[in-house]
Structure 1
Amino acid sequence: MLIGEVARRSGVSARMLRHYDALGLVRPTGRSVGGYREYSSEDIRRIFHVESLRSLGLSLREVGRALDDPGFDPSGLIDELMRQTQERIMREKELLARLRHIDAAEPADWEEALGIVALLQALGSESARVRQRAALASVGEASAPVELLVEAALAETDLNVAGALQWALRQAGSDGLARLAAGLRSTDAGVRKRAVVLIAQVPTDDATAVLADALTDPDVAVRRTAALPLGARGVVDAVPTLIDMVVAGANDVDAAEALGTLARRRELADRIVTEFVAHLAEDGAGTPTRRRIAQALADIPGAEATRVLSDLARSDEPSIALTAAYVLQQRGV
């Protein structure tokens, strides 16, 4: 089969076939009477093999090695191609995100566009000081897009920079709640926890509803971070997590305060006391746990809480008895 017919059937241009020949990658088996390249069925099969390997991202040199080296092991090369592809996809995603940020800012001219690019680079700096300055400088006449600030805040692990980004978000005049809510769906528990902290600063019913979803998060730290602001907002579903925090000694003072806020409702006060009593009855309830529960009951009104405290005041453990007695004295009992 002559080169023109091979090119038509294979979809590989005659120019590329000549290039393959020059490289020794696919050499036609024979020549016609007129001196034209003539390809056999085996040559054509090799052409398709070459094109298949090229479609995987192999260079022509790598294709040649793969086809001609009997001992060639493709696994190592495939692993390297996968790594290169993943890196390329990551770079493309970063570029796409950068372009979207610039588009969201709706720059009036190239000067504004370049300003957004500079902000993106600064917020992505390895230096926390540079990121903090960028966050503080993002508020002004040419404010940064809210989605850019949200993305940076969700990724930020430095507390000082995170604080600057939170301030910038408040100054931006938009809470970016939908974008923050997306952070709760991250596979990274750290991102979800930062999303909770940011959403807790939005004083709206919609934010409270979004925050409540975090009470079912698989990560205990995320659940506890959400329970504190939800308890302060009177969300009943936060009670079990808040009680767990007191029992476990995880930010127990703040958890007790949030429970005290919820306990202003009589029916919740009795429920909270009942759950604390159940923990007191557990075999693993040691002295520190019982003392924390006594302290937490100080903020719970009602006769039932007073009764439990009276029982604790008769404890054989001096620290528990003293704590409960002090709380009772503060309650005027």
Structure 2
Amino acid sequence: MRIGEVARRSGVSARMLRHYETLGLVTPTGRTSSGYRDYLPADLARIFHVESLRSMGLSLREVGRALDDPDFAPDALVTQLAERTAAQIAEGEQLLRRLNAIAERGLDDWDNVLSTIALLEALSSPNAGRRQRAALTATGRTAPTSALVESLLHEDEPNVAGALRWALVRAGDAVPLLAEAARRSDVRERTRAVLALTEIAGPASTAALTVSVSDPNHEIRASAALELCRRGQPPPPDVLIGLIVDGIRDVDAADALAVAANSELPEQTVAFALIAKLSDANPGVRRRITQALGELPGAAAQAALAALVDDEDEQVARTAAYLRRPS
């Protein structure tokens, strides 16, 4: 089979076929009596193998090694290609976020476009100090809010994350994006989004935090619930009681529950809900509930403490006796 026919059948140009021959990738099995290249079916099959491997992202050197090295491991090749592709996708997604962020600003002159590009590059720098400086110097003109939010959601350095939250407070339009991020599947992203929402005042952030008190993650629920208490809009008592039972910021939750029982919630309802959790609870839970009952106002909490003075757990009994108010 002459080279022209091979090119037509394989879709590989004659020039590239000669290049493959020079590299030793595909060498025609024979020559015609006139000295022309003569490709046999096995040569055509090898051409298709070369093209298949190239389509997976291999260089020609890697293709040659894969086809000719008897010790070459296909599984290692597939793993390497998957890792390389994942990195390329991540780079492409980052570029897409930058382009969308620039488009979001509606910038109409090169100075502002270049300033925004410089800021976005700084926010993705491997140097934490440079990322922090970028967040602290971000302005409404050069800092797309969506870029600041995405940077925060993926930021591991606490000081940089603090600077990004500060920038989002100043941005003034971050709540819808943070509220969306607080519903994502990644728990770290939700945690960072909710923490940022706790630092932004206003009814919109309060509404977003109200949704997050139902989050499956204990820490996220605690952050949202305790911030709502600080804003004078406590969640249902079961949320705070759940934190006490689970030992998640239980001291803060008990304080918040006491404040709510003094102002927003019926004290008897709160006390009875806590008392109900004593049944079949392990000693650690009983101790936390006893401590929380001591913070509550009203006769119901005091009656529960009076009963707990005789508890079989010595620490529960001592705590109850200490917290019980004189009659």
TM-score range, shorter chain: 0.7 to 0.9
Q: 1:308 aligns with which of 304, 308, 314?
A: 304
**Corresponding residue SS for 1:294:** helix
Q: Is the 8 A contact 2:294 2:320 kept in 1?
A: no
Shift in Å at residue 181 of structure 1?
A: 2.5
Distance in structure 2 (CA, Å) of the matches to 1:26 and 1:49: 10
TM-score of the superposed pair, with normalisation by structure 1: 0.82
Amino acid at match of 2:295: A
Q: Which residue pairs with 1:180 in the alignment?
A: 178
Distance in structure 1 (CA, Å) of the matches to 2:248 and 2:73: 54
Note the 1:117-128 alignment, pairs <5 A: 117-128=117-128
Q: Which residue pairs with 2:39 in the alignment?
A: 39
Q: Which residue pairs with 2:256 in the alignment?
A: 258
Shift in Å at residue 59 of structure 1?
A: 1.9
Residue 143 to residue 90, structure 1, CA distance change in 2 (3 Å): closer
Q: Which runs of 5+ in 2 are unaligned?
A: none
**Corresponding residue SS for 2:85:** helix
Distance in structure 1 (CA, Å) of the matches to 2:234 and 2:292: 21
Shift in Å at residue 12 of structure 1?
A: 0.6
Q: Is the 8 A contact 1:155 1:191 kept in 2?
A: yes
Shift in Å at residue 306 of structure 1?
A: 4.4
Q: Which residue pairs with 2:84 in the alignment?
A: 84
- 4+ long deviations beyond 6 Å: 313-316
RMSD in angstroms over aligned alpha carbons? 2.9
Q: Is the 8 A contact 1:290 1:320 kept in 2?
A: no
Distance in structure 1 (CA, Å) of the matches to 2:16 and 2:142: 52
**Corresponding residue SS for 2:277:** helix
Q: How many residue pairs are counted as aligned between the two chains?
A: 320
Task: Show CA shifts across 1:197-234 (max 9, x none).
Answer: 22234445544443333334332212222221234553
Q: Is the 8 A contact 1:246 1:292 kept in 2?
A: no
Q: Which runs of 5+ in 1 are unaligned?
A: none
Note the 1:62-81 alignment, pairs <5 A: 62-81=62-81
Mean Cα deviation higher: 29-38 or 113-122: 29-38
Residue 252 to residue 25, structure 1, CA distance change in 2 (3 Å): closer
Amino acid at match of 2:178: L
Note the 1:148-163 alignment, pairs <5 A: 148-163=147-162
Q: Is the 8 A contact 1:10 1:48 kept in 2?
A: yes
Q: Which residue pairs with 1:197 in the alignment?
A: 195
Asked whether 1:245 is paired with 2:236, we answer no
Distance in structure 1 (CA, Å) of the matches to 2:59 and 2:39: 23
Q: Which residue pairs with 1:15 in the alignment?
A: 15
Distance in structure 2 (CA, Å) of the matches to 1:282 and 1:324: 22
Q: Is the 8 A contact 2:294 2:301 kept in 1?
A: no
Q: Is the 8 A contact 1:136 1:168 kept in 2?
A: yes
Q: Is the 8 A contact 1:243 1:255 kept in 2?
A: yes
Residue 151 to residue 2, structure 1, CA distance change in 2 (3 Å): same
Amino acid at match of 1:170: V
Residue 215 to residue 109, structure 1, CA distance change in 2 (3 Å): same
Shift in Å at residue 154 of structure 1?
A: 2.4
Q: Which residue pairs with 1:6 in the alignment?
A: 6
Shift in Å at residue 106 of structure 1?
A: 2.8
